[in-house]
Amino acid sequence: MIKLNEVLSELEKILSPNFKIVKLDMNGRHVYIETSVDKLIDAAKYLLSIDGRLIHITASDEGYKGLKLIHVYGLDHLCINSHIILQTYLSREHAVAPSISKITYQVLWAERETMELLGIKFDGHPDPRHIFLPHEWPDPVESKAEEWKPVKVGKKCVLPIGPYHPAMIEGGYFKVKVDGEEVIDVDIKVGFNHRGIMKLAERRSFWKDIFLVSRVCGICNTPHALTFTMAVEAIANITPSDRAQYIRTLLAELNRIHSHLLWLGVAGELIGFKTLLMWAWKIRENVQDCTELLTGNRVHMDAITISGVRRDINDQQIRKAREKLKDVKKEVEKLAEIVVSHGIVRARTEDIGILSLHDAKDGGAVGPTARASGWKMDVRKDNPYAAYSEEYTTWDIIVDEGKDVFARTIVRVKEILVSIDICLQCLDALKRISGPIKVEVKGFPEGEAIRKTEAPRGELLYYVASNGSNIPKTVRIRTPSYRNISALIFMLKGYSLADAPIIIGSVDPCFSCTDRVIIVDDKRGKKAILSYNEFMKGLALKKLEV
Amino acid sequence: MIIIPLILIPIISFLLGILFSYEIRKIFARAQFRLGPLTSMYSELKPLLGTSRLIQPLYDILKLLYKESIIPKSANKTLFKISPWISFLLIFIASYFISYGGFTLLGNFELNIIFLIYLIVGVTLFWLIGAVASGSPWSEVGVRREAELMFTVEVTLVSSIFSIAILSNSLSIQKIVNHQLNSIPYIILNPIAAIAFIIGLLGKLHLKPFDIPDAEVEIVAGPFTEYSGKYLALLYTSKYFLTSILIGLFVDLFLAGGQILPPINPVNKIINFITFIILCLIMTFIISIINALAPRFRIDQAFKWMITRVWPISVLSIILSLIFVYIGVI
């Protein structure tokens, strides 16, 4: 355990004389520090050496002040609620910052995103390719695109998994290089579904944004709405009532149950167990019914709003929901028994796609993926929000030391049971507690805030800044799949092609929330980029000699 | 008189293949709380075929006949076009060898089981040749898997067939059936051979857990990836034939071909034929249940499993047959 004060005093020594605490939030646990560009690498080295996490790098346009580069460090898995937010102002004409991705892998994509969106250049970035745009997009736009030519490195077969592939419903493109059946290299291109939600959110009012951000991902819509709302509430200094907190927790957990059941089904299909898919989705129907009962909608709940929730839950609904959830619990237990004891399921998932704890930390895995690698990390405990803290509900973090696909399955299956438990506790509490579901909102003052929640796929981060109007100045989203997909590169190499779909599936990739990603193995020097046309041809080409 | 079985047998075989494929799909669906094949037919074909869901597999083929056959640029066109035809031809001929409850054309002559084995191997082989000729990387991986699977599965299948041939001291399918009428069905004498045959059958028909060559989430459709339209219809047809022939062969070899009555008059013959179909349906039910309740093996796991677990069973079945022959039970 470390103390935030010690970290801050050490950081002051490193950053001095450019060390200025500009804001404290969350009872002094979120520390916003303004510093200069040249000290960023030293700060990163120190904060990562004490086992901190670099959650996200982003930037915001501050008008005449220049571009504000924001590094969000999380220490919450070491010391409750602690976050350090380093801010630096860069001039618009010469926006150059040192790249942190040399020190740690996890920010590779975040820096590329910032490069793409705000034009900040990162010195020494190992892979400064486009992240949203196609690889071959000319830079600057006026110049002519270079034609793609294959680079010959021996005789290896290249298989395109995606963007349109039966294993993936959404558009992600995994260029898998195989030698026989063995995967020897992977190149990931995501970003076939970029919708520019962060920009759209800066054009709408706070109230409309809730519905916009819950459309980032259909499956984990409530955590998105909840996180955005929490950030806005932090700016406006609003505390929702206990009853609203319980309802929020209930809805977020229902979301997690249905997301995990959906994942279990998809995982079953990826190992060729179609029956498991149908069984899991049959159980999921009950959860959907429960959601419909409580909020009126089956998937997009849209029940959360600033200062509370939009709908109350009455006693009759509580009773019906309890019955449904108890049925679900029984069936999930049965299903878990089948999954755990089935010989072929174990054979297909054990010792596959191993992600060691070191790689998980360096690659920045979050959520069930990290917990299955033995990393005890859960935003609900580290950073309690809604009704997750000790005084509201009692539950434990599920951790597994298996590190493989089977461990990730077990973690998710157990989490379903834990979630059902939390839901039942919330329903009990809702019977007891009465009170308003909304409180009054008196405008949105100038300010900024970061908030995190545990979405079904892992840690979800929102950075929201307001300039005093009813439209947010900046909205930045860091989705969990963003990290988990980038960590896939550690899991895929060395395993069989037949394992590739289940390994990709095991992190529960959500391309609609990731939406904008590319990774390339930077350890290998030579790489070839397929243009869209080349890719379309690639399917018919006998062997791409890459 | 030869003309009647010459025309009738392939039709029976094909229709049985459709029936069994339907059953496999239906049970697969019911195990998953789904309804299974439900369809509406093209309106112009309704008077011809009716609206029964039983022949959904046939509708699938008819639909493909409406479609364009695309031949990829990278393909070796001659091989790509000709190999579905050859595989169809081989399995078409193979249908004459099976004894459909005593109704057969080529089931009687000696050594026909050897011919049948070659024909069945040939079907898979020409699927592979066509797939290689297509030049798609997906087909390539599928072919590699299919070849590995074929290697292990054929050994199991052939050794199981031979252990029955040893028991009956004959290499003719009809004679094996007649032998069982005189003594008892061989499934009672040599159940190990039956188990080996069922495993081989699952591998041959690409049912779970051996649907590795056409694992759609990994390699799209495996060897069939580049086939479309009429050529795909042809491949499906040969697969339906293969289904009915292998299941029929099981009933012939292990369950006395469904002949419960001596085939002396037409009524007995018809009863025998119906028994044959019922036994086939029971057999299909068993493999459908396995298909519904198993995930897919990885190819190396399947290979290892077949060699370490199933090959010993195959060897054991031959040894068991030899012991029976030696002590003179038969």
- Same-domain pairing of A268 and A343: yes
The verdict on whether omega for the bond into residue B185 sits within 30 degrees of 0, i.e. cis, is no
Q: Say how far apart CA A287 and CA A325 lie, in whole Å.
A: 7
Can you read off the two tokens belonging to residue B59?
A: 């509708």
Report pLDDT for A152: 42
Cβ of residue B141 closer than 8 Å to a chain A Cβ: yes
Residue in chain A closest to B226 (alpha carbons) equals A540
Contacts of A345 in chain B (CB under 8 A): 295
* CB pair distance less than 8 Å for A541 and B74: yes
User: How far are the Cα atoms of A143, A356, B200 from residue B160, in angstroms, in the given order?
Assistant: 69, 46, 9
Helix-helix angle A315-341:A242-270, to 10 degrees: 30
Residue A546 lies in a domain: no
Tokens of B147: 């070849």
User: A154 touching B, CB under 8 A?
Assistant: no
Residue A284 half-sphere exposure toward CB, CA atoms < 13 A: 22
Test A543 with B299 for CB contact under 8 angstroms: no
Whether cis (ω within 30° of 0) applies to the bond prior to B263 is: no
Q: CA-CA distance, B172 to B201, in Å (whole number)?
A: 20
Is B219 in Cβ contact with A541 (below 8 Å)? no
**Looking at the structure, do residues A277 and A358 belong to the same domain, yes or no?**
yes
What pLDDT, in 10s, does the model give residues A358-379?
Answer: 888 888 888 888 999 888 888 8
Cβ contact, residue pair A540, B73, below 8 Å: yes
Contact flag B136-A540 (C-beta cutoff 8 Å): yes
CB pairs under 8 A between A and B: 97
Would you tell me which residues 477-496 of chain A have a C-beta closer than 8 angstroms to some C-beta of chain B? 496
Contacts of B74 in chain A (CB under 8 A): 540-542
Inter-chain touch A539–B136, beta carbons under 8 Å: yes
CATH number at residue A23: 3.30.460.80
- Give the Cα separation of A57 and A68 in Å (integer): 11
User: How would you list the strands of the sheet with A157-161, edge to edge?
Assistant: A157-161, A172-179, A182-190, A518-520
Query: Is the same domain home to A67 and A22?
Result: yes
Cα separation, A371 vs A367, whole angstroms = 6
Alpha carbon B159 to chain centroid, angstroms: 17
Among residues A344, A471, A91, which one has the least CA distance to residue B211? A344
Note whether B33 contacts A274, CB cutoff 8 Å.
no
Residues A372 and A509 reside in one and the same domain: no
Chain B residues with beta carbon closer than 8 angstroms to that of A167: 217-218
User: Does the N-terminal peptide bond of residue A160 adopt cis geometry, omega within 30 degrees of 0?
Assistant: no
Is residue A141 within 8 A of residue A162, CB to CB? The reply is no
Q: Which helix (H) or strand (E) holds A471?
A: none
What is the identity of the amino acid at A522?
D
B148–chain A Cβ distance below 8 A for any pair = no
ipTM above 0.95, yes or no: no
Name the closest residue on chain A to residue B215, using Cα atoms. A272
> What local confidence, expressed as pLDDT, does residue B108 receive?
81
CB contact B266 to A (< 8 Å): no
- How does A147-185 read in b/e, with b if 16+ C-beta sit within 10 Å? ebeeeeeeebbbbbbbbebebbebbbbbbbbbeebebeb
Find out whether A10 and A31 touch, Cβ atoms under 8 Å: no
Cβ <8 Å between A272 and B298 = no
Is there a single domain that holds both residue A344 and residue A251?
yes
Q: How far is A173 from chain B (nearest CA, A)?
A: 14
Chain A contact for B165, CB < 8 A?
no
Residue of B nearest to A544 (CA): B137
Residue with tokens 């250049």: A121
Phi, psi values for residue A274, rounded to 5° = -65, -30
Q: Which two tokens stand for residue B268?
A: 């007995």
- Cα–Cα distance, A13 to A126 (Å, whole number): 29
Structural domain includes residue A288: yes
Q: What tokens appear for A443 in the block? A: 């405008």
> How many structural domains comprise chain A?
3
Probe site for chain B from A270, A337, A539, A544 (most B CB atoms < 10 A): A539
Specify burial of residue A428 (Cβ count, 10 A radius: 0-12, 13-18, 19+). Answer: middle
Which one, of B47, B43, B25, B46, lies nearest residue B34 by Cα?
B25
What 3 state SS string does A124-172 have?
CCCCCCCCCCCCCCCCCCCCCCCCCCCCCCCCCEEEEECCCECCECCCE
Contact list in B for residue A543 (CB cut-off 8 A) is 137
Residue of B298, B303, B304, B309 to mutate, testing the A interface (most A Cβ within 10 Å of its Cβ):
B298
Among A273, A499, A542, whose Cβ lies nearest the Cβ of B298?
A499
Cβ separation A272–B293 shorter than 8 A: no
| CA A239 – CA A260 distance, rounded (Å) | 30
- A368 and A250 fall within a common domain: yes
* Nearest chain B CA: its distance from A45 CA (Å): 41
Asked if residue A24 belongs to a domain, the reply is yes
User: B252 is in which domain, residue-wise?
Assistant: 3-327
Which residues are CB-neighbours of A505 under 8 A, at least 6 positions away? A167, A263, A266, A267, A270
The pLDDT of residue B328 is 77
Identity of the residue in B33, B73, B296 whose CB atom sits nearest the CB atom of A272: B296
Contact of A188 with A517, CB cutoff 8 Å:
yes
Helix (H) or strand (E) holding A310: none
Q: Looking at beta carbons, which residues of chain B come within 8 Å of A278?
A: 32-34
Shortest CA distance to A252 belongs to which of A453, A479, A485, A529? Answer: A453
Alpha-carbon distance of B121 to A390, in angstroms, equals 66
Of the candidates B139, B312, B155, the residue with the CA atom closest to the CA atom of residue B227:
B139
A501 touches chain B (CB under 8 A): yes
Enumerate the residues of chain B whose CB falls inside 8 A of the CB of residue A347.
297-298, 301
3-state secondary structure (DSSP) of residue A27: coil
Chain B interface, mutation test: which of A497, A504, A543, A546, most B Cβ atoms within 10 Å? A497
Which residues are within 8 A (CB) of A226 and not within 5 positions of it... i.e. 6 or more apart? A248, A252, A304, A385, A386, A453
Grouping H, G, I as helix, E, B as strand and the rest as coil, residue A239 is coil
As separate numbers, helices (DSSP H) first and strands (DSSP E) second, chain B gives 14, 0
Same domain, A290 and A379: yes
User: B286 to chain A, minimum CA–CA distance in Å?
Assistant: 16
Residues of A in contact with B215 (CB under 8 A): 272, 498
Q: Looking at the structure, do residues A301 and A433 belong to the same domain, yes or no?
A: yes
H or E stretch at A183 = strand A182-190
Write the CATH number for A341: 1.10.645.10
Q: pTM here? A: 0.82
Q: Is B216 on the interface with A (CB under 8 A)?
A: yes
> What is the C-alpha to C-alpha distance for residues B168 and B157, in angstroms, rounded to an integer?
17
Domain housing A184: 157-194+492-538
A 203-232 residues inside an 8 A Cβ radius of B: none
Contact B74 A542 (CB under 8 A): yes
Which residue of A lies nearest to B133 if distances are taken between CA atoms?
A: A542
The distance of A166 to chain B (nearest Cα, Å) reads: 5
pLDDT of amino acid A520: 31
What one-letter code names the amino acid at B46? K
Q: How far is B300 from chain A (nearest CA, A)?
A: 9
**Which residues of chain A are modeled with pLDDT < 70?**
139-157, 159-160, 162, 165-171, 180-181, 510-546
Q: Report the amino acid identity of residue A307.
A: S
What is the domain count for chain B?
A: 1
Interface test with B, best of A165, A269, A271, A502 (most B CBs within 10 A): A271
CA distance A187 to A175: 5
> Is B31 in the A-facing interface, judged by CB distances under 8 Å?
yes
Best probe of the A interface among B73, B218, B299, by most A CBs < 10 A, is B218
The amino acid at residue A480 is: P
**Contact across the interface for A501 and B220, Cβ inside 8 Å:** no
| pLDDT string in tens for chain B (330-residue length) | 788 888 888 998 998 998 899 888 888 888 888 877 765 556 666 676 666 677 788 888 888 888 888 888 878 888 888 999 999 999 998 988 888 887 788 878 888 889 989 998 899 889 888 888 887 777 877 888 888 888 888 889 999 999 988 888 888 888 888 888 887 888 888 889 999 999 999 988 888 888 877 776 667 777 888 888 889 899 889 999 999 999 999 998 888 877 877 778 888 888 888 988 999 999 999 999 998 888 888 888 888 888 898 899 999 999 988 898 888 766
Residues A169 and A297 in one domain: no
Question: Domain check: are A286 and A351 in the same one?
Answer: yes
Tokens read off for A420: 């059902």
A274 touches chain B (CB under 8 A): yes
Q: How far is CA A113 from CA A17, A109, A134, in A?
A: 30, 6, 13
For A309-350, the pLDDT digits (tens) are 988 888 899 999 999 999 999 999 988 888 888 888 888 888
Q: Tokens 């020494």 identify what position?
A: A124
Taking the Cβ of residue B208 and every Cβ of chain A, the question of whether any pair is shorter than 8 Å is answered with yes
